Structure 1
Amino acid sequence: MQEVRDPELPGRLLTLERDAFVPLLRSRPDTDFALPAAACPGWTVRDVLAHCSAALMRVVEGRFEKGVFSPESNDRDIAERAGWTNARVVDELERGMTEAGPVLARGDGRLDVLALGEWVHAGDVREAWGAPGAYAGAGLPDALALLARFTRQKEHVPLHADLDDVDEPLHLGAVAASGPPARYLGDAATLIRLCAGRPVTPGTYELAGVREAELNVFG
């Protein structure tokens, strides 16, 4: 049975995150934007934000040339914004988080995962700043729903997740795989970290039937 897509899901996630994240960005001094983003080696917080705003504006403006979203393309996007003020980068990010949702809703779903990537990168910035809510917050239910759909589309490793802070189990990955799925027990934010290839705290979760690296959907 073909899965029914919710076309409003990516935009809803972006809007929820915009309303929480942009005020945080505007409250921080310029020096905080130069801090390293440990989850994205070699990038500063500003680099992460420039990458995020550029990716969203590509969606808004329909600019998808060959090699888009490759590491080289990402580096060019960041370099193009090198002369911008931090405030201008945040302004572009806010516009992208506002306008990309309707564009994604009209699409065929192949770019929906960009909303999840943006939400994860917002967690990367919070992590760099020691701010609360990294990989959690109001958008978490929509992020989990988008993660589940993306992993099913990619026929990723099947995983049954019993989440400490979510009532219903979450099923990730291929639905027609042979044998029982791998199992995860822990909180939702840690599962997001694992699936996004971010560092986790050992001993805070249980994982059986799969290695941590196999859960990375962006690797």
Structure 2
Amino acid sequence: MEKIGKYLEQIGNFLITRKKCILYLDLNDYSIGDNLIFDEEANYIWLKSLISKIEFDEISFDLILDYPVNIFVEKYEIEAKKQIKLFFSEDRNMLETVLESEDIKKQTLYLERLLGGKELFKDVDHFFLKIFNLFSTISDMDSVHLEVLISNVLRDKRDFSIPARLGKTFDPKLINIKDIVFRQNTFLSSLNFENINKAIATSLISDDVGKDKTILEKTLINEIIPVEADEKE
């Protein structure tokens, strides 16, 4: 980070160049008019998310931001409709983030409340829509990733150790994502997760410390596996 700080500096929502550079945008990553809008009169490019390469005289690296940005255009070239080269001089505003950091924080907290079962929703479709709407404004994430996430927090009412989609009938119950590890793993595995105190407490009040302990876990708790004696003996 110290090395990058010699070339770029963040001030508020702005990214400032400390040395002259070239920013490369591969047009294969964008659809003009959709996730890339070039306003030549206002001299800026709006991107739904930034996937780029930045090049200085001494160094080059990828510059990727998973949220909307405005790039201030100083000088540019378009090469065969495949690439945009943006030239920046020293100490220039290169880009600004459209979302305030406080807005991102609010969205993160809202997602935590959703996955923690602290927000109301009518049914599974409504729950999915809430999460989809949250991510669709800041990312091009494929919905299949959201489906995997939701599948893991919607557990079968009769058996919390499996997702609801694997139950005999689809009868889901939302379980806090932080609690799932204590319902489907052994307590020793749950020690690796987050809440050590809860893992220990669970083991003390439960006579079931896990159906499928790993070899490492069996070694840690000094569990001896009995070997049946040979019938001849």
**TM-score for the superposition, normalised by structure 1:** 0.24
Q: Max radius of gyration: which structure? A: 2
Which is bigger in relative contact order (C-alpha 8 A, separation at least 6)?
1
Query: TM-score of the superposition, structure 2-length normalised?
Result: 0.23
Question: Larger % of strand: which?
Answer: 2
Task: Compare the two structures and name the one with the higher helix fraction.
Answer: 1
